[in-house]
Structure 1
Amino acid sequence: MHYWTNEIWRLSYLVIGFGLLGLLIGAGGWGVALGLAVHMTFTLWHLKKLYGWLEAPVMQKPPSGDGVWGDLFDRLYRYQKSQAQLQGRLRRVLTRVEESSEAMQDGIVMLDRAGHLDWWNSAAERMLGLDARHDRGHHITNYLRDPAFIQYFNQADYSEPVFLSSPAHDGRTIEARITVFGDNERLVLARDVTRLQRLEQTRRDFVANVSHELRTPLTVVSGYLETFLDQADQQESPVPPRLKRAFGQMQSQTRRMQSLVDDLLTLSRLETSERQTERQPVDIAALCREIHTDAASLSNGRHQFTLSLDEHRTILGDANELRSALSNLVINAVRYTPDGTTITLRYLDHPRGAMVEVIDDGDGIPKTHLSRLTERFYRVDKSRSTQSGGTGLGLAIVKHVLLRHDARLEIESDVGQGATFRCVFPASRLAAGSSRLT
């Protein structure tokens, strides 16, 4: 601050001194003007030195200066050095980021706001066939032309990855996921999942084959058990009561195994068949009425049921698959909620299309389990699931049916607050011209 005080005193001395000198010769105003001119010359001289220093091609020591100019040169020099050190650290960080990105097996592609290629690592170059000499600045969809990726890129909903064929290697499958960062810029992460998909396909084939092979012997065992039980029910039957009870338990477990095999075959068919399903109009409102009636019969008065149909538009899809999905949700509610609870089945409007909700006011599900409920054979309470006769595949079937109908499953629940299972269908799945309740 004292530099400014000194500079003001310097200006004052020049103005007063030259002003007094001018008064002595009868031109006081010219004396003040001459004092200001001298100070201006002093200032311009230092500005020229500053400009020349800033124009220097490399960082040099600052020029010498008097008063406030010397302090300004020193401050600028210190700031210049700090910025140079900061830039050096940033360059080292960027170098490490580039080196670590180059060491990754997964491809990384940076896009600008418009979706143009900005930077990518070597893995992305190998995986996607990009060339740094020609491709920088071009739009990503010029190189990833798979319709699935183009739809994924344009929909701006990147909660799930997309799978596509590698444009550079035939027979290879790429998992791509987009993340938004910065000023609406995007980062594409690409991973070669060919081996994982082959292992998954092997698993699916194994489950399908084993399930198919189990169906015939189970049918034979079930048939013989029914024959034995029929004979045991006849009067004067030689079958002891203890053996009759054993036959009954064997038949119960055989039916449970048959139900498990049927669910495994259903799930296998949903996983292995084409993703594109039939697009026939399905009257969801009528389907909900039928499921409501079946659920009430299954409950046999143990639960209260409510049916609410605020939406009457039909959905384009496969009626059998949709029936299987909605039935599984309602049957799960009957199986896993205590007696006396209320189960509500609703079909209503949704901002993105339409939705079906299955709501119960039972014990609820801890939030830690919600993300895993659609996994195969995952059980929140193993003892209750075994007693209820469930196979642990119902929600997995629901998930795959909804995926085949471009829909999603939302689950909301907490302990003591019941549970809500919501099937949300997009507007693209609503039949054009179908009636809507107003």
Structure 2
Amino acid sequence: MRFIQYFARKATIARPMPQLPDDLSPAAKSDRAAARLARAGWTLGATAAVLVVFAALGRVQPLEAALAFVLIGVVTAVAPRRRSFAAPARRAAPAVEAVSPQSLTLLSGLPDPTVVLDRRGVTLAFNAHAQAALPAIRAGDPISFAVRAPEVLEAVKAAAKTRRPQVVAYAERVPVERWIEAHVASAGGADGAPSAIVVAFRDLTEQRRSERMRADFVANASHELRTPLASLLGFVETLQGPAKNDAAAREKFLAIMRAQANRMSRLIDDLLSLSRIELKAHVRPRDVVDVVAVARNVIDALSPLAEERGVEVALLADGPALATGDRDELTRVVENLVENAIKYGDDGKRVEVTIATAGEGVRLAVRDYGPGIAPEHLPRLTERFYRPDVSHSREKGGTGLGLALVKHVLQRHGGQLAIESELGAGATFTVTIPAAVPAPATPALAKAS
């Protein structure tokens, strides 16, 4: 009923249909009547198309849509004339060349990006959501100028030809991967051809990413948790059987079981973090973050691990380095890189973290002086669960997801990751993040004399 009340309010404030004055000639009266019928047909046609789209989307009940259409039709037909015709009679323009105030008001209240086209596919009107989703859209331009998806263009042609609602789904690959569903509906004119075509876009990105996240999580978790779970089950059976009364074996096995349980906990945390990052991959962060402060906090937090392994971590930075990003995710990036350098480069006993602003980006480089990485492994280091040495990685407590997390965070931030390494000479991981754009200076106010 709220939907019906909304349309009732829009109908009561809509511009009334004009009545024909008595002093016009029969030909002028005929032209005025045709113009009035054309405007009424356009309004009712566009309204019907929008209601069909919303009924298809499930945002309004069919009965409410029908009642709203009848209400607008009655008000449009019986509203009295409030102004006279002072100008000479002029033949009305085709109905598709203008959009009535009622339709513009209706479009502005729709929650989804919605575009109204004429029968040729030329853009007549659109709401603010469509302007944000399709920056290239302009009134008077063909819809193909703003929408590059062939599926949508074919659906518009099919709706204009068959006058049947069309639903198509398509994917955008750049700048980030997105999935969109387009609902296309047409409203017929007096001559049988559609007088207007309405296209409503629905963003399915979050829904698709949630589905993929669940599937990936189940697949990855089942694969990686199988080994530690088998180990735990084996130790439990041993402790319940042959080693039931062996105190030394019990202490040894309990220590191994605790390490395996910690590894599973870290693995699940990394999988959940990776899924959350992928879920927000299409949303670019806008906060201003000091990368130097983030690195300093990470180094302080990892100092017990560095002292345990006898590694010195040095921070080399001239001053604050402001970048545009998400503080928690950037902290995870620096933490993964520094922790890897401490764990796998501990032979060199030194890790250097260098931060500098270069051009329009902030560059963070983490260098270790360990054994280095063979060239054949470098292209695959950011793959999930890829390890140059599986046993060595598990011995160090790695999950195989650290660099994959770094890659996905940088993709969301519009950053880059470069890896340089030589066997016996250590490795350098360089991260580049877009620098924060400084706010425009506020002009000083002149003092009154």
TM-score for both structures, normalised by structure 1: 0.49
Name the structure, 1 or 2, with higher relative contact order (CA <8 Å, separation 6+): 2
Q: Which has the larger radius of gyration?
A: 1
Q: Which has the higher helix share?
A: 1
TM-score for both structures, normalised by structure 2: 0.48
